[in-house]
A and B are shown apart, each in its own frame.
Chain A
Amino acid sequence: PVTHNAPLPPCKRRGPGRVRSVGDGRLEVIEGCRLPVLRKNQENEDEWPLAEILSVKEVASRKLYYVHYIDFNKRLDEWVTPDRLDLKKLQLPKKEAKTPTKNGLPGSRPSSPERDVVRAGREGESQMSNGTSRRLIPSQPGRKRKANCVGTDEDSQDSSDGIPSAPRMTGSLVSDRSHDDIITRMKNIDCIELGRHRLKPWYFSPYPQELTALPILYLCEFCLKYLKSLKCLQRHLTKCNLRHPPGNEIYRKGTISFFEIDGRKNKTYSQNLCLLAKCFLDHKTLYYDTDPFLFYVMTEYDSKGFHIVGYFSKEKESTEDYNVACILTLPPYQRRGYGKLLIEFSYELSKVEGKTGTPEKPLSDLGLLSYRSYWSQTILEILMDLKSDNGERPQITINEISEITSVKKEDVISTLQYLNLINYYKGQYILTLSEDIVEGHERAMHKRHLRIDPKCLHFTPKDWSKRGKW
């Protein structure tokens, strides 16, 4: 049922461009060009996937190209040397290229009708060159509305514009890429040193701009403060006596602990955590403050302290049944079951709250895989354990599964579909467990030794709606 080879978005289908030659016969590679770029795949084999040049810079009189591999995730984007470019297959950018540009973003929303008109004029010009008529459309009704609302309350001018300048206030992820520009499309931090680890960021993160030029950004392992040099980090560590995230430990089993941090009460840590997380979460937005979120930081203890492994954030009050806003396992800990542990923990919290929940959308590729895996195992666990009472077929409703697991109904259904368990048989829907599924599940569960023990959870949900504003 899953579409394997979805057609490429139209904007990414390009015919071979004309090859333009510069004076000396060499090809000029500029932003927007597409060409195959050499990269090693996981088997360490050479590949020449098609890539788009997003940026060009010169370091020590040597040009570097920031490339995005088409149909690869942005996290693999990188600066490459010219020798990795296959200039023979260079495609020049088309005029209507949808490459994000610096002016691709609408400015701040017109704040007065007068300015609206001015904007419309200015916008019109840039639209011509830009090729998109997106801005032109709203500006006309804007003008009309101005005529209509002469003498009426100015407040009515709000909303309905259709072009919000700021992202919505709830949630932590942005799905529309209207705010994506060339700056945020490119990684800005080269390397982050955190405790024992050196991490290569995957995405842009709004660390102070002066720190982005550094080869390594140093983070305090416990308070996550960002420092420009190892010396500064050393100095900082003489003053920072934290050896665990600055919150209340609400779960501990073995070396695994969870700390709860209030985004309003501990802003500094929350912001530092968000900045770090943004390096690995494409859709995360740091547009607004952290006040309405709680942060659950998972740590692993050793003699040095409680080391951050991953975290998830959660809105104190979610209007959309989200029980997770952002969720991240730090790269050094990935693919070791911690992600599933985080997810499991988030559902344990929901169980305590007596609610079903779902992660905020959009999911990332890794998020989707992790959640699907968790949902599959959780649901299969239940289905396999179903006992038939009086010799009849064991049966269960989707709602029951949802209640037991705190997984939202829609996620249960999508998992059942994904696992191909739902079948229509003799006038009714049934769930069927194939041998493959059963075997696969048993193998997976055998490997899954990291589990959340609900008995170790010391968590009392708070009714945030009764506490004023967060």
Chain B
Amino acid sequence: MSKLSFRARALDASKPLPVFRCEDLPDLNEYASINRAVPQMPTGMEKEEESEHHLQRAISAQQVYGEKRDNMVIPVPEAESNISYYDSLYPGEFRMPKQLIHIQPFSLDTEQPDYDLDSDDEAFVNKLRKKMEITPLQFEEMIDRLEKGSGQQLVTLQEAKLLLKEDDDLIREVFDYWTRKRKACKSASLIPVVKQEKRDGSSTNDPYVAFRRRTEKMQTRKNRKNDEASYEKMLKLRRDLSRAVTILEMIKRREKSKRELLHLTLEIVEKRYSMADFGGEVMAEVLAQRALIKPTYTMPLIPLSSNQFRHQDHLELKDFKPKPEKTEVVRTKRKYEKKPKVLQPSSSVSQQSGHSSLPAFNAKDLNQYDFPSSDEEPFSQMLSGSSEAEEDSDPDGPFAFRRKAGCQYYAPGQGSNWPWCDPGDPRYRYSLTTLTVPHRCVGLARRRVGRGGRFLLDRAHSDLDNVFYGLDPEMHSLPAQSPNGKLASTSESNTSDRPAPPDLGHILLNIKSCRWRHFRPRTLPRDSDSSGLYRGLTRVSMANPRTQTGGSTSQSRTGPGPAPAAALTAEQYQQHQEQLALMQKQQLEQIQQQQAGNAPGLVSKTLDSASAQFAASALVTTEELLAIKAKEEIVLGIGVNGVLPGSGVYKGLHLASAAPAALVNTSPPAAVAATTTANTAAPAFHQPSAANSSGMTAQTPSGHGAAAQVLMGNSVRLGMSSAGGTVNSITTLNARHIPRTLTAVPPSALKLAAAATANCQVPKVTAASSLDMVVR
């Protein structure tokens, strides 16, 4: 064991080491050789420095003497500690606090200037003091501001004046002094600061640059491609996240409606209980009734109360809607199902009071969703033909399109070529209409040809209906105003380029004096014959010569430039007719949108537009009309802002949702004709408005750009301005409309709806005034 050349075991840190005094182990030296086996630990010093003379000397001295000797220590440069002026430099005493010192956060941030006055400054300040008031601190503050206000470029005197609070004389003096000093100074600042790292990374090795930010250098600068890719990724991520948010919102809505359903069911049960309908007879009766009313649709098992609303709705649809449109109902329904979401409370209230027999219910709530809930699997599945239906909590509800076995379905638009199915057709636009018999205004309506050449009058509900109904057809427009044309508030007269009407009072007056426009073509060259023709046309529908005159006056004023007067030719006549057709088409679109926008409580009615008498006798009985009127008079009671011209509303509605359609509206007949033909077969709801508009604009001959522009501006204005009412159908409608066009992108719809509702805050501007604003 004594002659050892083998390695000793490794030192085990967890093994107890007995501690001996050397004197207790006389034979220790015999084992000393093994000690070398214990691996040497590094000193932790730099190799080169480890060998330095003074260190080695100190180490050996320590080993020899067991302690440091004064002359063996490592020499260092000297330091003195005898600054004589120390006491004056740091005057006063600082008493040690009893408690440990605790610094309050931000207490260190004193507002003292970083700049410190030097002897030169002191001389300057002393000199300046003879002239004006300045303290060293003030001077320091000024210099501090100037220094910190300067980047690469020095602050100019003008900037300095903004930067400094002192009076101009002082600023100029100090500024001049500072500029001189700054120019003489080689460094970047009069306040010495540690060099900062440069953004371009060129300062990596500058030894004077210190305290660099620890953030990793952006690698993107290296490669633009990389930059782009990551940017796109970020965009995508953002998109995905916002989509997720949307989905969550939708879920929230769905769950809300589920809860609503539950409440409604509860209510039914309570009602039935109070009616003592224990046997379910009343329920069955109502269900049967409903089945009668709407045999076409499978009705979900929904609460009775909401059924009643539907009942009304469908009854009207059934009664007044012409057959060809019925197929479209399914689709248009969707739009207006969404309305209550964005509808302003007042509007829903008005609807409710008009149609709801159960005021305890919010009509909005009732109609908002059709309660597709997970409990109703089969039903909701049927409805969720598209992702949109699902997301929207099935807005179509019972009207959702369902395939029937054995039936062949064609894409919408292909099968029906009814001109009013085309949203772009201006002929089928809704406008303010007055009947001769009964002699009253029926609000918004449009005219179209029905079966057997009958003229049908489609009526549309608007939130301003009660205003319209209140309009007195007997009140004539003032002849003096008529040529002046303060009206221009109708969709027909939207090309008017009169100066802006003076104020709201005028507008109100216009409305009061029946200056609301009627269904009437416009944008014609000034042409007495044509207007005569139209007068003939309109006379039938309006049964109000005054109004009609107003219309023709507005016509005569149409056209942004001087309209060429020309004799009526057969061609012109044809053009006129086509324009009329176009108008009607637009109106159709409007009604569709209107339907879409309206809650089920709203009524869409059909009236003869060619002749009130004809319509009354042929399609709509007087009783029915009266009934409608009676019903609508309920709405009348509700305070709706009557200031807005109805047609303005409509125009806004129409144009805002499909502006180019309106544009086409005013275009010369040829263009109109083209548009019409192009669009006849396409129902509004099948064409995203964007596509729609682009197509139409393309068709507008550039030669008529002026008129078109006016119109377009007009429409835009109107879209905004008509938002003034307490009830803003336009915005809501718009909101409703857009989601469709952006199929399955409800978030944007929501946002747009929100934006639209925000629009409501826009101060009231009448259509007339807005019209004038856009005239160029």
Q: Judge whether A365 and B74 touch: CB under 8 Å.
A: yes
A209–B74 contact, CB under 8 A? no
Q: Which residue of B lies closest to A170 (CB)?
A: B214
A228 within 8 A of B: yes
Q: Name the residue of chain A whose CB is nearest to the CB of B211.
A: A289
Is B480 an interface residue, CB under 8 A from the partner?
no
Task: Provide the B1-43 mask, 1 if CB < 8 A to any CB of A, else 0.
Answer: 1000000110111111111111101001001101111101111
**Chain A 1-40 per-residue mask, 1 if CB under 8 angstroms from chain B, else 0:** 1101111110000000000000000000000000000000
Within A328-376, the residues touching B (CB, 8 Å) are 330-332, 334-335, 359, 361-369
The answer to whether B11 and A422 have CB atoms under 8 Å apart is yes
Contact of B192 with A226 in the complex, beta carbons under 8 Å: yes
Q: How far is the CA of A350 from the CA of B207 in the complex (A)?
A: 34
Q: Which chain B residue has the least Cβ–Cβ distance from A236?
A: B116
CB distance from A169 to the nearest CB of B (A): 6
Known contacts A1-B40, A248-B103; A206 and B194 CB within 8 A of each other: yes
| B 178-222 binary contact with A (CB < 8 Å = 1; else 0) | 000000011100001111000001101101111111100001011
Cβ–Cβ < 8 Å partners of B41 in chain A: 410, 413-414, 417
Q: Is B275 an interface residue (CB 8 A)?
A: no
Which B residues touch A288, using CB under 8 A? Answer: 211-214
Q: Mark A205-246, 1 if CB is under 8 A from B, else 0.
A: 011111100000000010000111111111111111101101
The answer on a CB contact under 8 Å between A209 and B77 is no
Complex-state Cα separation, A206 to B122, whole angstroms: 28
B100 touches A248 (CB 8 A): yes
The answer on a CB contact under 8 Å between A364 and B13 is no
What is the minimal beta-carbon distance from A170 to any residue of chain B, in angstroms? 10
Q: A430 to B34: give the CA distance in the assembly, Å.
A: 12
Complex alpha-carbon distance, A219 and B622, angstroms: 102
**Chain A residue with Cβ nearest B189:** A208
Flag if B90 contacts A221 (CB, 8 Å): yes
Q: Is A43 in the interface zone, CB < 8 Å from B?
A: yes
Partner of B117, one of A108, A183, A235, A363: A235
Asked if B748 lies at the interface with its beta carbon under 8 angstroms from chain A, I say no
The answer, among B51, B101, B140, for a CB contact under 8 Å with A6, is: B51
Contacts of B51 in A (CB 8 A): 5-9, 71
- Contact present for A409 and B13 (CB under 8 Å): yes
Measured between beta carbons, the chain A residues less than 8 angstroms from B48 are 9
Pick from A43, A199, A231, A291: contact of B79, CB under 8 Å: A199
Instruction: Please tell me if B89 contacts chain A, counting CB pairs below 8 Å.
Output: yes
Is the CB of B151 closer than 8 A to any CB of chain A?
no
Least CB distance from B654 to A in Å reads: 53
Min C-beta distance of B200 to chain A, whole Å: 9
Identify B101's interface contact among A73, A235, A248, A393, CB under 8 A: A248
Q: Which of B52, B59, B68 makes the CB contact (< 8 A) with A73?
A: B52
Determine if A319 is an interface residue (Cβ-Cβ < 8 Å). Answer: no
Interface residue A195 (Cβ < 8 Å from any Cβ of B): yes
Of A59-67, A81-89, A300-308, the one with at least 4 CB within 8 A of chain B = A300-308
Within the complex, what minimum Cβ distance (angstroms) separates A334 from chain B? 7
0/1 per residue, B120-147, Cβ < 8 Å to A? 0010000000000000110010000000
Min C-beta distance of A158 to chain B, whole Å:
7
Segment touching B, from A122-130, A132-140, A438-446? A438-446
Is the beta-carbon distance between B17 and A396 smaller than 8 angstroms?
A: yes
Q: Are B11 and A413 in contact (CB under 8 A)?
A: yes
- Is the beta-carbon distance between A430 and B18 smaller than 8 angstroms? yes
B403 on the A face (CB < 8 A):
no
Q: Which of B279-312 contact A (CB under 8 A)?
A: none
Verify A365–B45 contact, CB threshold 8 A. yes
Chain A hits for B221, CB < 8 A? 111
| Binding-face segment, A310-318, A397-405, A460-468 | A397-405
Known contacts: A239-B113, A289-B212, A417-B41. The answer to whether A209 contacts B187 by CB under 8 A is yes
A105 at the interface (CB under 8 A from B): yes
B-contact 0/1 string along A139-165, CB 8 Å cutoff: 000000000000001110110000001
Residues in A with CB closer than 8 Å to B219 are 154-155, 158
Q: Interface size bucket, B side?
A: 35 or more
B78 to chain A, nearest CB (A): 6
Asked if A175 meets B46 with Cβ closer than 8 Å, knowing A425-B31, A432-B25, the reply is yes
Residues of chain A with a CB closer than 8 A to B571's CB: none
Which residues of chain B are within 8 angstroms of A434 by Cβ–Cβ distance? Answer: 21-22
Q: How far is the CA of A369 from the CA of B93 in the complex (A)?
A: 37
| CB nearest to A280 among chain B residues | B76
A423 and B136 form a contact (CB under 8 A): no
B45 near A432: Cβ-Cβ < 8 Å: no
Instruction: Identify B212's interface contact among A9, A232, A287, A394, CB under 8 A.
Output: A287
Residues on B with C-beta less than 8 A from A107 are 204-205
- Decide yes or no whether A323 CB sits under 8 A from chain B: no
Judged by a CB distance under 8 angstroms, whether A202 is at the interface is: yes
Partner of A165, one of B110, B204, B225: B204
| A248-B102 contact in complex given A395-B18, A423-B28, C-beta closer than 8 Å | yes
CA distance A248 to B435 in the complex (A): 89
Q: How many Å from the CB of A201 to the closest CB on chain B?
A: 8
Cβ of A99 under 8 Å from chain B: no
Contacts of A1 in B (CB 8 A): 36, 40
A321 within 8 A of B: no
Whether B223 sits at the interface, judged by CB under 8 Å, is yes
Q: Tell me if A390 counts as interface (CB < 8 A to partner B).
A: no
CB of B15 within 8 A of CB of A397, answer: yes
**In the assembled complex, B75 has its CB within 8 A of some CB on chain A:** yes
Q: How far is the CB of A45 from chain B (nearest CB, A)?
A: 11
CB A30 to nearest CB in B, in angstroms, measures 22
Q: Are B119 and A394 in contact (CB under 8 A)?
A: no
Q: Are A246 and B118 in contact (CB under 8 A)?
A: no
What 0/1 pattern do residues 39 to 68 of A give for CB contact below 8 A with B?
Answer: 001110000000000000000000000000
A76 at the interface (CB under 8 A from B): yes
Task: Tell me the minimal C-beta distance from A286 to chain B in angstroms.
Answer: 4
In the complex formed, the residue of A with least CB distance to B85 is A230
Contact with B along A89-132 (1 / 0, CB 8 A): 00000000000000001111001100000000000000000000
User: Could you tell me if B52 and A332 are in contact, using CB atoms closer than 8 angstroms?
Assistant: no
| Chain B residues, CB < 8 A from A389 | none
Beyond A265-B105, A432-B25, is A365–B40 a contact (Cβ under 8 Å)? no
Q: Determine whether the beta carbon of A431 is less than 8 Å from that of B20.
A: yes
- Please give, as numbers and ranges, the residues of chain B lying within 8 Å of A359 by CB-CB distance: 44
Asked whether any CB of chain A lies closer than 8 Å to the CB of B274, the reply is: no
Contact of A413 among B13, B56, B212, B225 (CB under 8 A): B13
Q: Which residues of chain A are within 8 angstroms of B78 by Cβ–Cβ distance?
A: 200
Given contacts A249-B102, A425-B25, contact A393 B211 (CB under 8 A): no
Query: Does B86 have its Cβ within 8 Å of any Cβ on chain A?
Result: yes
Q: Write out the residue numbers on chain B whose beta carbons fall within 8 Å of the beta carbon of A210.
A: 185-187, 192
Taking a contact as CB atoms under 8 Å apart, the answer to whether B52 and A383 are in contact is no
Chain A residues numbered 167-223 whose CB sits less than 8 Å from any CB in chain B:
169, 175, 179, 181, 183-184, 193, 195-202, 204, 206-211, 221
Q: Looking across the interface, which residue of chain B has its beta carbon closest to that of A182?
A: B207
Q: Does A378 count as interface, using CB distance less than 8 angstroms? A: no
With A4-B56, A246-B108, A248-B101 known to touch, is A369 a contact of B74 (CB < 8 Å)? Answer: yes
Instruction: Determine the chain B residues whose CB is within 8 A of the CB of A230 once the complex forms.
Output: 89
Q: Is B71 an interface residue (CB 8 A)?
A: yes
Indicate if the CB atoms of A444 and B67 lie closer than 8 Å.
yes
User: In whole Å, how far is B23's beta carbon from the nearest beta carbon of chain A?
Assistant: 7
Which residues from chain A contact B50 at a C-beta distance below 8 Å? 6
Q: A42-B75, A184-B207, A289-B213 are in contact. List 18 more A-B contacts (CB 8 A).
A: A7-B51, A183-B208, A196-B81, A206-B207, A206-B209, A210-B186, A231-B118, A303-B95, A304-B90, A362-B44, A362-B49, A395-B17, A397-B16, A399-B14, A424-B38, A429-B9, A435-B21, A439-B66
**17 pairs from A and B in contact (CB 8 Å cutoff):** A42-B71, A155-B226, A179-B207, A198-B83, A207-B194, A231-B122, A244-B94, A283-B46, A331-B79, A362-B44, A365-B58, A368-B55, A396-B19, A398-B13, A410-B41, A432-B28, A439-B66
- Closest 8 pairs between A and B when the two form their complex, measured CB to CB: A440-B66, A414-B41, A200-B77, A286-B210, A210-B187, A208-B192, A398-B13, A243-B94
